[in-house]
A and B are shown apart, each in its own frame.
Chain A
Amino acid sequence: MKRPGLPPNPDPVLNQPITPELVKKHGLLPEEFEQIRRHLGRDPTLTELGIFSVMWSEHCSYKNTRPLLKGFPVEKAGAAADFGRVLVKAGEENAGIIDVGDGWAIAFKIESHNHPSAVEPFEGAATGVGGIIRDIFTMGARPVLVTNSLRFGELDSPVTRRLLRGVVAGIAHYGNCVGVPNVAGDIYFDRSYEGNPLVNALCLGTLRHEQIRRGKATGLGNPVYYVGAATGRDGLGGASFASRELSAESASDRPAVQKGDPFMEKLLIEACLEMMAVPGLVVGIQDMGAAGLTCSTCETASRGGAGIEIELDRVPQREAGMNSYEIMLSESQERMLVIVQAGREREIEDVFAKWDLHAARVGSVTDTGRMLVRHHGIPVADIPASALTDGAPVYQREARRPAYLDETSRWTPAAAGLADLDLAGARAALPRLLSHPTIASKKWIYRQYDHMVQHGTAVEPGSDAGVVRLRLGGREKFIAISNDCNGRYCYLNPRRGAMIAMVECLRNLACAGAVPLAMTDNLNFGNPYKPENFYQLKECVAGLAEACRFFDVPVVGGNVSLYNESPDGAIDPTPTVSVVGIIESEAQITRQFVRTADARLILLGGAPTELGGSQFLGIIHGRKTGDAPAVDLAAEKRLHGFVLGQIRAGRLGAAHDLSEGGLLVAVCEMLFGPGRLGAAVDLSGLRSPRLDALLFGESQGRVVVSVERADEPAVLAAALAAGVPADPIGAATADGILTVKTARGPLDWAVSGLRAGWETSIETAMKRPGLG
């Protein structure tokens, strides 16, 4: 049936005929345009075309990834009745929610702002933080922590330095002002991210079960309010911008990058939480993030099985003469859509007046199932709400195993004729590894972030996991959070690399004394239309899903960022993982730093034996090759359980997992705490095929713990009983010297020298000028 067209738009510019070129410019395929015509029963107006283009972009619709994401477990199989249950599942709302007991819950999610940050690092990163914070408080939760996962090219590039400086300053600018502590993060420097940095930001909030709010428009006639900042022309079409490859012309996309106002966000948080605390006032609420007013209206209507109609004249605007296309697609920041109970308009308006914020009634809930938009009283868009959400196309893309994997997966040091380290080589390698920015101290970054506001930070950035005390009613709980993903492993073995990202997070949490609750992931990949890229994506998702099921850690949500390519090619596949855990009591909070001289060091998990994918191969030999290290999920589970058990028994002074840089780097990091300790380490009894693999290999499932001398026999006996390999490797010393006995002879370093390189490396690099 052909429906009659809409009357002419009040802005003549918007009345041009829809040509194939215009469709293409909106990032839509010809067959997608045909689908739009079928949904509408007529040709779309230009405003409607814009609305479809943002809602059907990858960023909003997940059209290329939805089938894959169905493989993730979204519920906990073995949750206790009152703890760890998933209260709001992934994909249902803006963020998932997990029960943490006693009537309290946490909401958390990670999201990317990669493309905006590549083009305009400061504002791109700042608005990334703002966006994810809104995703959390729109659920009714008070934001209590943020973290970030960053990926950049190597710091020898002035462009990379400019990007890093801008991104860190942007995150600091926004998060510090809003007053949410930035307690953890991870960052890798690798050429594959040159020109396409990754900026993934996470926020976690706390709330009572009864405070959970949904992004649903229900109740015929209920008023629809627009609250927060006024709408401008910034960020036009940001969602579709994020769904394209970066090119040399991307700099001209700057108008697609939004500008953030953290002060406005802080007011919005307080006003929204105050409004949501009024019983029965709020029917539904959703932030205006990607695709702004468009996304929030059609998603709330679609979720509520209702319709919504709005009049754009009532939308607060900070520029004159904006047309319907611009208002609907603007991604101006710090705005929310709220549906309130009819008859209680006064209550919401009073709250926002107190905070000096806009609260404009822009429309109401209908029962038509349609999103009807009027401008100057004239209908300018009339679309079935579900066509924009559930009606978005879904594609199963072609996957093809990349050819390079044949070569890299067969690589071995022996076959490649790579000479093993001699003592001189080993002595020189350790300081080089420690001062590579990927391994070096990240203090230059986190000292720019307020990581202590809200006075709950119990473990500051720089240990395996950030820990925050939550004050929940009269009770205290400690939450630990860890981010990780080694893109190098994912490049060399996508499925296994993704699993490693997950198990490393879990291992970090175990080392901090935390039991995992749930994970959120940010899938950063290249253009999915290239079959090799899609293969990486598919394999990584399969690896993550398998690890999640094995450990019974549900996925509560996340984000997909595709098209992460620069003219030099796609980034290494980077499925960033963040896992949240809970620590039962303050006494069990464990850090990675050895505290006393004479503490015994025990290596759990056995001697490292592999070199593939290691930082050692990259930094010392300039190679990104070999297979990713092996993963044994069952052995990991035993190890994590054992570490947690020993922490509960009060036997571990410190625990730290082996990751980038391997065993010696881990031992050094344990010594780089508040004390000025050394260590006498004896590795001569450990069996490994090569010295370089033993010292710097990155075999998984390894943890070094420190225990008091008197507890060592009990810990070793317990490890034997638990089936966890445990090798005493020495003790901390008061002399500030690290000595390592190997089968080839002794090695020694002054810890202060190693520490100086590790501590100052990024700061030194950043003192060099960056290109504007």
Chain B
Amino acid sequence: MNISVLQFPGSNCDQDAFQLFASGLGLPTRYVWHKDTRLGEADLVVLPGGFSYGDYLRCGAIARFSPVMGAVREYAGRGGLILGICNGFQILCEAGLLPGALIRNSSLEYRCMTCELAVEDAGPAFNPGTLGARIRLPIGHGEGNFRIDEAGRADLEANRQVILRYLDNPNGSLDGIAGVRSRAGNVFGMMPHPDRAFERFHPSRDGLSVARAVLASRFPDVIRKSA
């Protein structure tokens, strides 16, 4: 098992994501620099939160052109497992690896708080058996307002691609959507931070369940051992 956490200039939750897997789940984890053009051996690629390239122009809009993203696209095409958290989710949307877009919060303000989320029954790819029906995860973003056109919205629901929904919508997201997966089921993106919910003193430890559920969609055996 090898977890690879990408580092873009301006990533600032790279260490948080690293520790979620390294110390939270005890899995071998390493960083991959954005100028690398190859991912090497990777069983899960994590795009962490932060402000890649300052999020100038539009969140994730510059990062999608990073050298490493070519390898990420190729890896996704091969069915590789990918998790984008916060800015990572924004980058995956900009790169076309996940449907939809994230615009400014309806409050026009940044929000840092802990949210109640409903875990949607997204099918075996998100291992709902491991995850409770209600979880609590922190958010920290100014642009987490999920949008998609009508056709895309119908597709998401038809293919059960919504994985997390806010119970008390903090940012105006369409249908309270907080996280989605790709239609093929190997690319996951979410605005809430599982990487802020795994230590004893965090608002919850539900981040561990989310990380396990993502991994379990591909590696049920590994996760049973680490749980």
Contacts and interface: CB of A to CB of B under 8 A. Distances in A.
A binds B: yes
Contact of A450 (B35, B110, B200, B202): B110
Given A266-B51, A447-B112, A452 B9 contact: no
B51 A455 contact: no
A176 B50 CA distance: 8
A455 B54 contact: no
A356 to B, nearest CB: 7
A564 B64 CA distance: 47
Nearest to A264: B54
B201 A458 contact: yes
B79 interface: no
B112 A263 contact: no
Contacts of A618: none
A169 B110 CA distance: 8
Interface string B63-82: 00000000000000000000
Contact of A263 (B49, B53, B198, B200): B53
A529 interface: no
A12 B55 CA distance: 42
Contacts of A176: 51, 110, 112, 140, 142
B182 interface: no
A455 B140 contact: no
Chain A binding surface, main DSSP class: helix
Interface string A711-746: 000000000000000000000000000000000000
Given A176-B140, A447-B111, A586-B201, A263 B16 contact: no
B113 to A, nearest CB: 5
Contacts of A179: 12-13, 50-51
Contacts of B165: none
A354 B36 CA distance: 12
Interface in B87-108: none
B10 A177 contact: yes
A261 interface: yes
Contacts of A262: 51, 54
Contacts of B212: none
Interface string B185-224: 0000000010110111110000000000000000000000
Contacts of A356: 9
A454 B14 CA distance: 9
A262 B35 CA distance: 21
Interface in A530-586: 586
A172 B110 contact: yes
A455 B198 CA distance: 9
Interface string B1-40: 0000000011011011001100000000000000100000
Contact of A355 (B9, B19, B54, B201): B9
A169 B111 CA distance: 11
Given A177-B55, A450-B140, A266 B112 contact: no
B51 A177 contact: yes
A34 to B, nearest CB: 48
A448 interface: yes
Interface string A177-193: 11100000000000000
A451 B138 CA distance: 10
A677 to B, nearest CB: 19
Contacts of B35: 354
B140 A448 contact: no
Nearest to B18: A455
Nearest to B24: A455
B109 interface: yes
B16 A454 contact: yes
27 contacts: A172-B109, A176-B140, A176-B142, A179-B12, A179-B50, A179-B51, A262-B51, A262-B54, A263-B54, A263-B56, A264-B54, A266-B9, A266-B12, A267-B9, A446-B112, A447-B111, A448-B110, A448-B112, A452-B140, A453-B16, A453-B140, A454-B16, A455-B15, A455-B195, A455-B199, A458-B201, A586-B200
